[in-house]
Chains A and B, each alone.
Chain A
Amino acid sequence: MRGRELLLRRLMPLLVLLVVATTAAPAAEIPAIAAAADLKFALSEIATQFKRETGRELRLSFGSSGNFTRQIEQGAPFEMFLSADENYIFRLAEQGRTVDRGRLYALGQVGLFVPHGSQLRVDAELADLRAALQEGRIKRFAIANPEHAPYGRAARALLESTGLWDSIEAHLVLGENAAQAMQFAASGASQGGIVPLALALAPEIARRGQFILLPAAWYARDPLRQRMVLLKSAGDSAAAFYAYLLQPAAREILARYGFVEPPESE
């Protein structure tokens, strides 16, 4: 009995300290921003620069645009949303959840990524992919889930328009979002994948394999028109970041990650 009481008495201050230390909440005013997974590297870099210049902090969440749309519809407390497919933005706008119909900020591009050590060779016509499928050299091929990830839809459109879909379908591994598809493709767990240029350009990924950009015409059915919007709950910081993304400094970073500037008329 004595030993136990002593132990408890010794542990008590530690417990109290833990409770106090962990309930000192992080500032809840820092806006939460939902962003398509292809922005993982580019937007993190822009946010760091934004913080350095303005002192404002942001909380970035990356995922599939479809998932975020569903979460926002269910009341997720995001203040700004950057979608890889503008239709999601329009859907939220029609429900009256956004400030306006947003701004087109970039056009996304996809290509073929092949990790080092893969049986697959990289070429602009996808000739070796076609041959590899026939010869059974492809075991697993990564794309994002077309159900809710715009990059998955673009990849499916591309594979369909090139006539590869039927033979590749059985080998597909579906990433929950574009970043997971990228991870599947680059980790060597699959022989290759159709992934965003914006992720393939990141140094962490570029050194893991080879990448070739594929013509946008091949997935013109599901173009990656990327639109951002402020949600009704947006505060000053989110609005400032929205404006910042249209500035040359941010545009330069986006361009470095392969995001094509949208036509002026948009």
Chain B
Amino acid sequence: MMDWTAVILSLKLALATQLVLLPPAIFCARWLALTTFRGKAWIEGVLALPLVLPPTVIGYYLLVAMGGNSPLGRWFEALSGQTLAFSFTGLVVASALINIPFAVQPAQRAFEAISLEIHESAKCCGLTFWQTFRRIELPLAWPGILSAAVMTFAHTLGEFGVVLMVGGNIPGETQTVAISIYDRVQSFDFSTAGAMSLLLLGISLVTIAISYGMADRLMRRRRL
């Protein structure tokens, strides 16, 4: 037995999060990797905050920010006719925010691994910013970017606290696999809970394997 509605919703959420988060995260990672300035540690620190903040703290702030009484919540409601909190869109916003460190950090490590000489030779060859980015940096940094994508994906599937607080457990809208497992355990439906737990376990294992493999690739490249 499997709660397919929840599985599909989780996959949808994970893909949407990647789509929204990865492009800005990649540019942010590149920027952080290639520049040094005063106060950079603070920016990196703010981006890493979701790693250490309790999900309930993030959930609380998001709920306040997205609820029907906040300017953002009201603006979204006027625009779309539905509330941001307790909607799929709201979950995507929340999920993108809490995944920032998982997307930025691996990509940043990858951009940092590209040596200065390569940047300089690219400039000497007369390549523009976009040419350098597309033909040189992206191909060299791709293990880190793939790792960022995979981590974001898996972390979104597994997120619980924030989703429960901001999403509110509505089947087909905000009831993700992790929430559905919690729900099934409460109703003693251990076979479904077990099957879905196994699915998440498998996905997590594959994720870790891929991202470790990618890190390994990066390290070897650095040695060359």
Decide if A22 touches B15 in the complex (CB within 8 Å).
yes
Bound-complex Cα distance A97 to B173 (A): 21
- A14 to nearest B CB, angstroms? 12
Is residue B171 within 8 Å, beta carbon to beta carbon, of the partner chain? yes
Q: In the complex where A75-B77, A179-B187, A183-B185 touch, is A22 in contact with B168 (Cβ < 8 A)?
A: no
- Against A, the Cβ 8 Å flags (1 = close, 0 = not) of B159-174 are 0000000001111110
Is residue B186 within 8 Å, beta carbon to beta carbon, of the partner chain? yes
Decide if A63 touches B83 in the complex (CB within 8 Å).
no
Binds A, one of B5-13, B42-50, B51-59, B105-113: B5-13
Decide if B173 touches A205 in the complex (CB within 8 Å).
no
**Number of chain B residues close to chain A: CB under 8 A:** 32
Which of A18, A23, A61 has the largest number of chain B CB atoms within 10 A?
A61
Decide if B170 touches A205 in the complex (CB within 8 Å).
no
Is residue B142 within 8 Å, beta carbon to beta carbon, of the partner chain? yes
Bound-complex Cα distance A183 to B181 (A): 13
Bound-complex Cα distance A78 to B85 (A): 12
Closest to A233 in B: B82
Is residue B175 within 8 Å, beta carbon to beta carbon, of the partner chain? yes
- A166 to nearest B CB, angstroms? 29
Decide if A18 touches B15 in the complex (CB within 8 Å).
yes
Is residue A12 within 8 Å, beta carbon to beta carbon, of the partner chain? no
- Against B, the Cβ 8 Å flags (1 = close, 0 = not) of A164-178 are 000000000000010
| Residues in A56-81 with C-beta less than 8 Å from chain B | 59-63, 71, 73-78
- Against A, the Cβ 8 Å flags (1 = close, 0 = not) of B166-205 are 0011111101000000010111110000000000000000
Is residue A244 within 8 Å, beta carbon to beta carbon, of the partner chain? no
Closest to B88 in A: A25
Is residue A148 within 8 Å, beta carbon to beta carbon, of the partner chain? no
Bound-complex Cα distance A175 to B145 (A): 41
| Residues in B76-96 with C-beta less than 8 Å from chain A | 77, 82-83, 85-87
Q: Which of A4, A41, A61 is in CB contact (< 8 Å) with B175? A: A61
A78 surroundings in chain B (CB, below 8 A): 170
- B11 to nearest A CB, angstroms? 5
Bound-complex Cα distance A62 to B189 (A): 14
Q: Which of B5, B8, B172, B187 is in CB contact (< 8 Å) with A41? A: B187
A28 surroundings in chain B (CB, below 8 A): 172-173
Decide if A76 touches B168 in the complex (CB within 8 Å).
yes
Q: Which of A4, A59, A177, A186 is in CB contact (< 8 Å) with B172? A: A59
Is residue B67 within 8 Å, beta carbon to beta carbon, of the partner chain? yes
- Against A, the Cβ 8 Å flags (1 = close, 0 = not) of B1-25 are 0000100110110010000000000
Decide if A77 touches B186 in the complex (CB within 8 Å).
no
Decide if A63 touches B169 in the complex (CB within 8 Å).
yes
Closest to B83 in A: A75
Q: In the complex where A1-B139, A61-B175 touch, is A76 in contact with B186 (Cβ < 8 A)?
A: no
A212 surroundings in chain B (CB, below 8 A): none
A73 surroundings in chain B (CB, below 8 A): 68
Q: In the complex where A71-B86, A74-B86 touch, is A204 in contact with B188 (Cβ < 8 A)?
A: yes
Q: List 28 A-B contacts (CB under 8 A).
A: A21-B8, A22-B8, A23-B15, A26-B9, A28-B172, A28-B173, A32-B170, A40-B186, A40-B187, A41-B187, A59-B170, A59-B172, A63-B169, A71-B85, A74-B63, A74-B68, A74-B69, A74-B83, A75-B67, A75-B73, A75-B83, A76-B83, A77-B86, A177-B186, A183-B186, A186-B188, A202-B188, A204-B187
